[in-house]
Structure 1
Amino acid sequence: MELNKEMYAFLTNKARQLTEEWYASLDKSDPDGVYASDDPDVIAELKEQNFRFHGYLCNLLIKEEEAFYKEFDEWIFDVSRSKDHVNTPIHFIIREFMRVRLQYMKFIDEFSQENEHVDAARVSEWRDKFIKAFDNVILKFTEETYEYQAKRLEAQREMINELSSPVILLKGGTALLPLVGDIDTQRAKFILENTLNQCAKLRVNHLLIDISGVVMIDTMVAYQLFQLIEALNLIGVSSTLSGIRPEIAQTAVQLGLDFESIHTVSTLAQALHF
């Protein structure tokens, strides 16, 4: 334990040097990301994050493993969600973890050379502990980044769905739902839920659904569209479907889809006139 304390003191005293040497050797030619920044505030924050990293990591030598990783999670959580790291490709970040790991291997060797009472077994033990810690931190950092990015992506997808599936109130209780682009099962489900809520909120009694901008409709999407029209009927909203393009009509016939029970017109202009 005493040797661990000596090594801890050696590394913590070198922490600022570790940070400065790391940043000095940093490849600043990355096309984007935090490491390419020349903003003094970003650089200062980056150095501070690196310095804090050393403070957490060195505790590996003096704390129980469970307590060590629990405390380290705080640094991982904060940095993985920082704006500058979120906008940095993950392989650049992993590369820097690997470079810092090499720094630690060199300092372990330096300490052992300066202290003859440190045997090869202890050096090997320290190396293994730090390599394991770096592996765990890289894995945890990657997981946190993935989860955060996944949540951001889902939020953006929901916003895009909402913006691309608006119920536009016209006049006299009539509203328009213009649909464009590809519609997959997930988006079709969102359209159904959002349209029903919006029609109820806006007190719509007749909805014009225009699909002239929809590229393709498969069986599942058509089924969801039928469900939407039936659900609208249940809440007292009648529907007119416009913009069924020839290729979609042909696909519908091939799939055996029945549009006879749905009021359809060729164009949105006709729907508006109706």
Structure 2
Amino acid sequence: MKANLAFREFLLKKAWNLTEEWYNSLDQSSVSGVYASRDQATIENLKSQNYAFHKHLAEIFTLDKEDFLEHMNDWIVEIGRDPHHLETPTHEIMREFMRVRIQYLDFLKEFMETQNVSVDRERETQWTRLLVDAFDQIMYKVVEEKSNYLNRTIEKQQSTINELSSPLIQLSNDQALLPLVGNIDTDRAAAILENILRKCTEQDVDLLYIDLSGVYLVDTMVAQQIFQLIDSLRLIGVSSTVVGIRPEIAQTAVSLGLDFSHVTTTATLSQAMAGQTF
């Protein structure tokens, strides 16, 4: 334990040197993202993050594996969600972790050669494995956090896009229009179903015009979901009029055996609002 503490103190004393050495060794011609930044504030923040890494990593010699990873967690989350690191290719982040790992292995050799501490071959091997395993775990968790954060962001953006692409336009106190434009895939159809049922309830809609004149292509699953929307609206007391069904969509619906008998349809929105149905 005494040797572990001695190596820990050695690394802590060298922490800032490690940071400066690492940053100065960056090849500006082959890096991008945060590592290529010329903004002084960004550079200082990057160095601060690297220095904090060294301070945290030194605790690997005093904590067990589970406690150490918990100790590193806040730093991992910070890096994984950092806007500059999010804009940096993941392979470059991993490359810099590997370069820093080499720094540590070199410092281990320096410690062995310069410090008056008895360290046998077994302990040296143990420290090497400990450092390599720690770097592997931290790299994996940073990349995982970055990936999860980006996926959550994309899901939120997609949800917003789906909601914006299915606006419910209030026409009167109890009537509304749902204009649909573009191709509708299964995910978008499911989002439309969820959003429109909620909006119709919130806005006390009694009659909804579903305008499909801008929809050119749907698959069989989507056609079923559109009719599911109509059925679901009827269950919550909302009548539907489907406007502008294109021949391609009509053929898909007929081939599926979907029942049009309870569906009010018109060729145009003006006909629908004038009460002319087919």
- The count of residues paired between Structure 1 and Structure 2 equals 274
Deviation at 1:142, TM superposition (A): 2.0
Distance in 2 between the 1:32 and 1:207 partners? 51
| Cross-structure match for 1:176 | 177
Aligned 8 A contact 2:244 2:267 in 1? yes
| Cross-structure match for 1:103 | 103
Deviation at 1:115, TM superposition (A): 4.3
* TM-score, structure 1 as length reference: 0.90
Spell out, residue by residue over 1:1-35, the C-alpha distance to the aligned partner (whole angstroms, 9 max, x if none): 22222211221111111111111122434675222
Aligned 8 A contact 1:216 1:248 in 2? yes
Aligned 8 A contact 1:167 1:177 in 2? yes
Deviation at 1:133, TM superposition (A): 0.3
Distance in 1 between the 2:30 and 2:243 partners? 50
C-alpha spacing 1:160/1:50, structure 2 compared with 1 (3 Å): same
What residue ranges of structure 1 are gaps of 5+ in the alignment? none
| Cross-structure match for 2:72 | 72
- Residue identity (%): 50
| Cross-structure match for 1:91 | 91
| Cross-structure match for 1:143 | 144
Note if 1:185 corresponds to 2:201. Answer: no
**Larger deviation: 178-187 or 149-158?**
178-187
Residue 8 of structure 1 aligns with an amino acid whose one-letter code is R
Aligned 8 A contact 2:216 2:248 in 1? no
Aligned 8 A contact 1:112 1:119 in 2? no
Residue 147 of structure 1 aligns with an amino acid whose one-letter code is N
Aligned 8 A contact 1:189 1:224 in 2? yes
Spell out, residue by residue over 1:50-87, the C-alpha distance to the aligned partner (whole angstroms, 9 max, x if none): 00000011111223333222111121122212222223
Residue 193 of structure 1 aligns with an amino acid whose one-letter code is E
What is the CA RMSD across the aligned residues, in angstroms? 2.2
| Cross-structure match for 2:243 | 242
Aligned 8 A contact 1:56 1:72 in 2? yes
* TM-score, structure 2 as length reference: 0.89
| Cross-structure match for 1:50 | 50
Spell out, residue by residue over 1:219-266, the C-alpha distance to the aligned partner (whole angstroms, 9 max, x if none): 322222112112222333221212322222233333333334312223
Deviation at 1:162, TM superposition (A): 1.0
| Cross-structure match for 2:198 | 197
**Larger deviation: 172-181 or 50-59?**
172-181
Deviation at 1:137, TM superposition (A): 0.7
Residue 186 of structure 2 aligns with an amino acid whose one-letter code is T
